Structure 1
Amino acid sequence: MITETVCLKRWNTRLNGYLLELATTRFEQALFKSNRVVRLGDIVKLEDSKRVPLNSRDRDARKGPYPYYGATSIMDYVDDYLFDGIRVLLGEDGSVIDESGRPILQYVWGKYWVNNHAHILAAASDYSLEAIYIALQRTPISHIVTGAVQRKISQRNLNKLKLEMPDAKSLEYLQDIFAAYRCNCEENRGLVSLRDALLPKLMSGEIDVSKIDVAQLNSHLEKRKAAASVLSLIFPIALPGLWSPMQ
């Protein structure tokens, strides 16, 4: 059962990579047909004023179910949240760009807390946050980064950042792609919780594996294979070993 759980998690992760590649390729195709240059500050609203940092002692005293995001990733889980819904987080200081000079981004949803090391982008135009996320992923931003020792992206520089964007209506397909992406991520979170709960009991012999019916889980695996087959028809890129449990 643990093996099937691990395989399903891997397949979801690979499928999400597939979905993001599809979204990016379709974005590039839309740009080829029509494009305009926009200032980021004209299409998003920065919600940085709502951020509240918590030090490690505060977080230890406030353990809970809600993700606590830093500049690059989830740092902890706390007992309350500041935001509810989809946002794009962009690193403000420290690790703000990757080796290619593109921004460190996080696409987040649900209920969560964000500290003061990530800019918080909310939609404020016809462009969805999904479209803005894809646009930012492909845009080098080294020219707006300041600081020799501690790299930083100020609100002022971020708002002035110029992005190439297609017509907003040509990007409506992104909603369905990212809905599938979120669904896969949520399932993976559930699988991690299931694995962490089951593994100690399996190791101790508290659960008898021979009595577990894995038919339902295997059904989920078959659905993932079918979904990938459909995607391969829509977006024919070879992913060697996609369905191999050993990958």
Structure 2
Amino acid sequence: YVRGMKVFRVHPADVSRIEIELPHIETQRKVVSILDSIYTKQRINTQLNGYLLELATTRFEQALFKSNRVVRLGDIVKLEDSKRVPLNSRDRDARKGPYPYYGATSIMDYVDDYLFDGIRVLLGEDGSVIDESGRPILQYVWGKYWVNNHAHILAAASDYSLEAIYIALQRTPISHIVTGAVQRKISQRNLNKLKLEMPDAKSLEYLQDIFAAYRCNCEENRGLVSLRDALLPKLMSGEIDVSKIDVAQLNSHLA
């Protein structure tokens, strides 16, 4: 007993004697080969997206060298924070679905409805709002999704695309607009007053193609995750005959 509560313990020797069913070793190896093909393609897509963002940033800075102006963020975006609706964990548990539920830094859950449809840039409002270099925590999002009240929602409102604004924000230190000693926060007022260096908008049209490829790679990775999650239990249980799957053909398809 610990503090009046009965505690049950399992001895390591008992654990070692537990019997579990596993497929034949050859089946296990084939499953690993299939999963490795999926993981490899995911890694390649992620690496490609890293290169795409580097390319976008490099070309942005080249455009800045040719033409440079300082603009207020509030003059080139529209904040859609008033459309946010927070859902607590109990609400989300009762509303499971296919739509991402975004918090300040990442997807927190998936729910049965959406508030936004299309491309937006999310910028952390409180808590984790800047990284170690003082630059903002950003999320470039698209499709249909829900956003809670811990991220500012930026929509395009000028000749500058959200892709251009995303790159500009990524390279801009913003520690000077963060308030709060205990809980860091970026207010709407301070965010709207933030000054960004921007080149001529027409010099940034190339960003549309770069980010279209970026989104395509992300969507493919999401599909691969769904494929993996659907395949694995069926392969391990024998519901799908692993011997009939041509790994070489799968690799060719994923290349």
State TM-score, norm by structure 1.
0.86
Distance 2:252 2:151 in 1: 40
Preserved CA contact (<8 Å) 1:90 1:118: yes
Q: Which of 116, 127, 140 is equivalent to 1:83?
A: 116
Determine which structure has more spread, i.e. the larger CA radius of gyration.
Answer: 2
Aligned identity (percent) is 95
Query: Partner residue of 2:105?
Result: 72
Cα distance in 2 for residues equivalent to 1:173 and 1:219: 30
More displaced, 93-102 or 206-215?
206-215
| SS of match in other structure, 2:87 | coil
Alpha-carbon distance in structure 2 between the residues aligned to 1:30 and 1:214: 45
Deviation at 1:219, TM superposition (A): 3.1
Cα deviation per residue 1:161-208 (whole Å; 9 max; x = unaligned)?
A: 000001000100000000000000000000001001111122222222
| Aligned pairs (5 A) from 1:1-247 | 2-9=34-41, 10-214=43-247, 217-220=250-253
Unaligned 5+ residue runs, structure 2? 1-33
Partner SS for 1:71: coil
RMSD: 1.9
1:55 deviation in Å? Answer: 0.3
Secondary structure of the equivalent of 2:71?
A: strand
Equivalent position SS for 1:72? coil
Equivalent pair of 1:90/1:119 in contact (CA under 8 Å): yes
Moved more, 198-207 or 47-56: 198-207
Give CA deviations for 1:59-94 in whole Å, capped at 9, x if unaligned: 000000000000000000000000000000000000
* 8 A contact 1:5–1:191 mirrored in 2: no
The normalised TM-score by structure 2 is: 0.83
Q: Tell me, what secondary structure is at the counterpart of 1:146?
A: coil
Q: Once the two structures are superposed, what CA deviation does each residue of 1:24-49 show, in whole Å capped at 9, x if it has no partner? A: 11101111111100000000000000
Please give the alpha-carbon distance, in whole angstroms, between the structure 2 residues aligned to 1:190 and 1:124.
32
Shift of 1:3: 3.3
Q: 1:216 Cα deviation (Å)?
A: 5.3
Equivalenced residue count is 221
3-state SS of paired residue (2:218):
helix
Deviation by residue 1:129-170 (Cα, 9 ceiling, x = unmatched): 000000000000000000000000000000000000010001
